[in-house]
Structure 1
């Protein structure tokens, strides 16, 4: 079995971690009745994931750097066994809350290992593609859960949803644990002092720039996913239309994630892509605030998704190239921590300005303008990163 087949198992594990996160989101009202809970209580089952991620991100990254196999095995077991455990008491809210917390703790170990997995199992020429495939699995998992949860619930209730979502989770767990036990790393990894590594990392300005860019990019998407319906409803666009518009953006982003990162990295145009991405996004939200035709919104959402979502694999790949193998998990953990924190802040900021809707859209545009300014701080093509303050350039950018 070659390395690409093993990557398929890891991608399935990432995919599963996302469907377990979003399981209850599209069926909140129905599940509240099944569990004799409030709608807010069911919403908590989903909302706690980014909160737990912020707490666990750095410890998970440091463990991945020092004990990669053990840390990723832990993440795989939480996904597979956690999914199966939900079947024991499917209608007990307290039980499901405990299991969701366990799953939320395991998720950073799975996601933070994207660059670490690529660097340890793939030669340098294949790592960008491996990171892109792993990243796409995140978005596919969200789409799968958002679309399939309501359909599965309508044709078998909550138990049907939990059973179907358990299958890929257990397969992904077994596949990844087999890989970790049986497949050797492609290269040796020198493990440094973890405390020293963290101290150096937080003094690296380049890492802060990458963190800020991801916080804006994913923050905009997550906030849009949260408030798209109430924003557009004020323009007379119902949820039956806002949902497909968001799905259109996500599909466009998946396509972009398979094309744009490899091209941008090969041509050394990551800085250019970053500037163009936030310019398009800022323009899109200004344009939508001025005119709310469905086709007009769909047109802009296709472009926003195509450019915005590929920012994740590009940033993860850049992190892998900038930092040595002994620091990659911690570095990605730091970037992910910042992106989740930024997303939560943006969610509550937009919530305060939902009415009138042009204020919310204006905030999206303004945040993307900040992204443009931040993207200009990225190193120019074919130059060593001049932003590094505490961490030396380990690889040519």
Structure 2
């Protein structure tokens, strides 16, 4: 089940970031601006903000059916992008995939809670999160290979094939019975009330807003921001590839180590400070060498913030885990929407754009202090019943 979920999770990211490594080429091919191509990526956080809560409620009540629907819709959106070689069809496909994405990604905690023993769930969340970043790697690899306008069709076709195969595998795997029982929350909006009335969940939502926003902004506009410094699209794709590859390694390893030693809060602070310093270096001295070093470190230390926060959410949220995860993802994507949109407005001023992205990450540091009281003396999240 974890492997089947990982395939669909990776596919959503391949489709999400199809055009990020080739922003300039795609803008020329479709006859639109670079900012318009950026919205092929930005519709994902936009729809996540709107649909995260409904998707979480559906997963809490009808987990199997909702996750299967998300996988199928992802494949349908991938196919829609193949219908016509114009911006309208590509945008239509992206919107359908963006609608499906919350049904898939909100299910990370649900998969681990239903199919893994409690002691294995942090590792399962780390693997599930790493798989989504692995999908980003595939997207940037494809962007590094298919760099010309006439190759955009092949780029889109590969994404459609990957999403179709992944959907079939997951739908078949979902016939597997749950290994662990899961109490469904009351009908209606009760799950939302349970999750939102929890002060700890609200604080995690505020915390995840900023680092997720920085990451989305960098993956969306790094290629365009580095181009004035002489970094071509092929080199930018490789830089972004290393950024996410480092993130996959970080997500697969660091959250598990942090949970074992009680370093979750230290890891969150380290990632935010690293992102700020890396963006500051790019603002002051943009170029390929600085980008290689800065974005690789940002990927390694900032991206693990997501599985760390999701693991905290899974341990704390109980029966409303899907809705709680939806709140976390919604806040992160809202951060992505706000920060990426702000950076996009500054795309013609790379230094200012990188500085804004770095400051956004740094704002997470004081918010970490807000969740310190919820940690016991051994720095593990309290397992007592949260305040309703």
TM over 0.5: yes
The two structures have a TM-score, normalised by structure 1, of 0.85
Q: Aligned runs of 1:219-298 on 2, under 5 Å?
A: 219-233=213-227, 235=229, 237-292=231-286, 294-298=288-292
Unaligned runs of 5+ in 1: 1-5
TM-score of the two chains, using structure 2 as the length reference: 0.87
Structure 2 residue aligned with 1:331:
324
Q: 2:342 aligns with which of 343, 349, 374?
A: 349
- The answer on whether the counterparts of 2:206 and 2:331 sit within 8 Å (CA) in structure 1 is yes
After TM superposition, give the deviation of residue 261 of structure 1 in Å: 0.8
Question: In structure 1, the residue corresponding to 2:191 is in which secondary structure?
Answer: helix
| Deviation, structure 1 residue 361 | 3.6
Greater Rg over alpha carbons, structure: 1
Residue correspondence of structure 1 range 138-217 to structure 2 within 5 A: 138-149=132-143, 151-152=145-146, 157-181=151-175, 183-193=176-186, 194-217=188-211
Describe the shift of the 1:20–1:189 C-alpha distance in structure 2 as closer, same or farther (beyond 3 A): same
Aligned length in residues: 384
8 Å Cα contact 1:200-1:391 kept in structure 2: no
Instruction: Give, in angstroms, the shift of residue 189 of structure 1.
Output: 1.4
Tell me which of 359, 373, 380 is aligned to 1:366. Answer: 359
Give the unaligned 5+ runs of structure 2. none
Deviations 1:47-93 (A, max 9, x none): 32221111111100110001101111111111234334544x24365
Partner of 1:136: 130
Please list the CA deviations of residues 335-383 of structure 1 after superposition, one character each: whole Å capped at 9, or x if unmatched.
1111111122112333455676443343334323321111122234536
1:3 corresponding residue in structure 2: none
Contact 1:198 1:330 in 2 (8 A): yes
Asked if 1:78 corresponds to 2:76, the answer is no
User: Structure 1 residues 130-139 or 186-195, which shifts more?
Assistant: 186-195
Q: Distance in 2 between matches of 1:196 and 1:189?
A: 16
Query: What is the CA RMSD across the aligned residues, in angstroms?
Result: 3.1
Cα separation, 2, equivalents of 1:350 and 1:42: 14
Q: Deviations over 1:301-325 (max 9, x none)?
A: 332221101111111111111110x
Cα distance change, pair 45–355 in 1 and its aligned pair in 2 (3 A) = closer
CA contact under 8 A between 2:143 and 2:234: conserved in structure 1? no
